[in-house]
């Protein structure tokens, strides 16, 4: 839901258009983009944070439901701290004490989560204006966002050129493709931070059924920093391998802990039996998750190239939203990978292309 309500009117417009979303307090124009397919789905984006602000579905009765959480004005995006729908970087998730060693040199980043570093620091990719343009040369509605992160931004080394391409196709698939290059060795771990609520209306996602294609997860300490241990999920509340597991089934045992719910990284099963799609260039995507809202019949399938997924149940959402009103499936590398040699590396070399693709497919089944 987009608080303010006016944004859903955009779903009645064309297949790909640009509009003025709002202006900042300083008078800077914030541009919006709407991608729409013939099936009644639309995705609405803004250039502040390369942010996904709405995924609208036109139901059979003609009503419009937004399946994400968002706002209808830039002031709320600039003051809210929950990263709603934005592109997160340079490094998504946590870095212990904001510190790591690179080529024998200690790098000290900003600490914006107590003594730790979270989601790129005080002014990450979510808090900047991106250049944006509609992709005219693609067969389906697409918008490309690009941004240069200067050498030393947030104390990260290297100039990093990054782009995010959002595409909505006729199969109701929303694709997010992240690309980046650097001129110095630097860690990079990008993700989108959309909060999903497939009901479109309810104030809780605890009745959603989640299946995660993951046999293990990364164990964390009291500050949600990985210890380095990768633990099997079997016999625990972290086991979402079977279909039909409700979010609310296991969350009660976590509510009194430091995370107040699910906020953990699962290791995606990147094995042949979980392969979902191979692109024409040979890029392989694996199934990450299947989420279902039984009462509406809405289903979302998530595929990605990334080795991990941070499943977060909105445990710290602030007004005007309610705790657990949305959930995130942040496809990414593992948290604090730069300090754990047994985790997949997040280091990007000069001359190397960072590429991360995630697809969300929306399906309508009979309500239960």
Predicted TM-score (pTM) of this structure: 0.95
Q: Has residue 162 got a pLDDT over 80?
A: yes
User: Largest alpha-carbon pair distance within the chain?
Assistant: 62
Catalytic residue, chosen from 116, 193, 264, 324, is 193
CA–CA separation, 320 and 3 (whole Å): 8
CA–CA separation, 168 and 249 (whole Å): 33
CA–CA separation, 189 and 181 (whole Å): 12
* Token pair of 185 as six digits: 């060795």
pLDDT of 140 reads 87
Task: Tell me how crowded residue 132 is: count the other CB atoms within 10 A of its CB.
Answer: 22
Distances (CA, A) of 121 to 34, 65, 100, 240, 344: 29, 33, 14, 31, 22
pLDDT of 12 reads 37
Q: Measured between alpha carbons, how far apart are the two ends of the chain, in Å? A: 22
Q: What is the pLDDT of residues 12-42, one digit of tens each?
A: 333 889 999 999 999 999 999 999 999 999 9
Distances (CA, A) of 270 to 215, 240, 364: 10, 16, 27
Q: What is the pLDDT of residues 54-88, one digit of tens each?
A: 999 987 777 899 999 999 999 999 999 999 999 99
* Token pair of 103 as six digits: 């080529």
Q: Has residue 5 got a pLDDT over 80?
A: no
Known active-site residue 330: yes
- Of the chain, the percentage scoring pLDDT greater than 90 comes to 89
**Nearest-CA neighbor of 57 among 194, 198, 170?**
198
Mean pLDDT for 46-55 is 98
User: Cβ(23)–Cβ(74) under 8 Å?
Assistant: yes
Known active-site residue 193: yes
Catalytic residue, chosen from 293, 330, 333, 340, is 330
* pLDDT mean across residues, the chain: 94
pLDDT of 63 reads 84
Distances (CA, A) of 43 to 188, 193, 229: 26, 15, 38
Q: What is the pLDDT of residues 260-301, one digit of tens each?
A: 999 999 999 999 999 999 999 999 999 999 999 999 999 999
CA–CA separation, 362 and 47 (whole Å): 24
pLDDT of 268 reads 98
Q: What is the pLDDT of residues 102-114, one digit of tens each?
A: 999 999 999 999 9
pLDDT of 176 reads 98
Q: Has residue 4 got a pLDDT over 60?
A: no
CA–CA separation, 183 and 180 (whole Å): 11
In DSSP terms, which residues pair with 301 in a beta bridge?
Answer: 290, 361
pLDDT of 340 reads 98
Q: What is the pLDDT of residues 302-346, one digit of tens each?
A: 999 999 999 999 999 999 999 999 999 999 999 999 999 999 999
pLDDT of 1 reads 47
pLDDT of 10 reads 37
Q: Distance between alpha carbon 321 and the CA centroid of its chain, in Å?
A: 18
User: Cβ(299)–Cβ(291) under 8 Å?
Assistant: yes
* Token pair of 84 as six digits: 């709603």
Q: What is the pLDDT of residues 111-156, one digit of tens each?
A: 999 999 999 999 999 999 999 999 987 778 899 999 999 999 999 9
pLDDT of 20 reads 97
């Amino acid at each position: 839901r987009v608080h303010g309500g006016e944004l859903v009117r955009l779903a009645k417009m064309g297949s790909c258009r640009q509009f003025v979303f709002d202006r900042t307090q300083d008078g800077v124009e914030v541009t919006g983009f709407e991608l729409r397919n013939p099936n009644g789905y639309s995705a609405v984006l803004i250039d502040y944070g390369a942010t996904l602000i709405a995924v609208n579905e036109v139901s059979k009765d003609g009503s419009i439901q937004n399946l994400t959480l968002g706002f209808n004005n830039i002031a709320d995006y600039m003051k809210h701290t929950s990263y709603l729908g934005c592109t997160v970087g340079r490094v998504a998730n946590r870095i212990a004490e904001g510190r790591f060693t690179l080529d024998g040199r200690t790098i000290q980043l900003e600490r914006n989560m107590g003594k730790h570093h979270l989601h790129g620091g005080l002014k990450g990719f979510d808090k900047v204006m991106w250049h944006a343009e509609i992709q005219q040369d693609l067969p389906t509605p697409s918008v490309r966002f690009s941004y240069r992160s200067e050498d030393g931004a947030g104390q990260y080394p290297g100039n990093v050129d990054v782009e995010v391409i959002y595409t909505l196709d006729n199969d109701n698939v929303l694709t997010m493709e992240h690309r980046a290059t650097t001129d110095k060795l630097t860690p990079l771990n990008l993700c989108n931070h959309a909060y999903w609520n497939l009901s479109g209306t309810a104030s809780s996602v605890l009745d959603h059924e989640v299946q995660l294609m993951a046999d293990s997860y990364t164990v964390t300490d009291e500050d949600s920093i990985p210890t380095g241990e990768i633990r099997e999920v079997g016999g625990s509340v972290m086991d979402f391998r079977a279909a039909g597991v409700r979010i609310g089934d296991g969350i009660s045992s976590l509510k009194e802990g430091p995370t107040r719910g699910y906020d953990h990284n699962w290791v995606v099963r990147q094995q042949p039996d979980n392969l979902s799609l191979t692109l024409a260039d040979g890029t392989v995507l694996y199934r990450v998750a299947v989420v279902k809202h039984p009462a509406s019949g809405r289903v979302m399938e998530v595929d990605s190239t990334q080795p991990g997924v941070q499943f977060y149940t909105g445990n710290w959402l602030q007004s005007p939203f309610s705790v657990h009103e949305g959930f995130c499936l942040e496809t990414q590398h593992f948290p604090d990978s730069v300090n754990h040699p047994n985790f997949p590396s997040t280091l990007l070399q000069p001359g190397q292309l960072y590429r991360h693709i995630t697809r969300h497919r929306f399906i309508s089944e009979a309500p239960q």
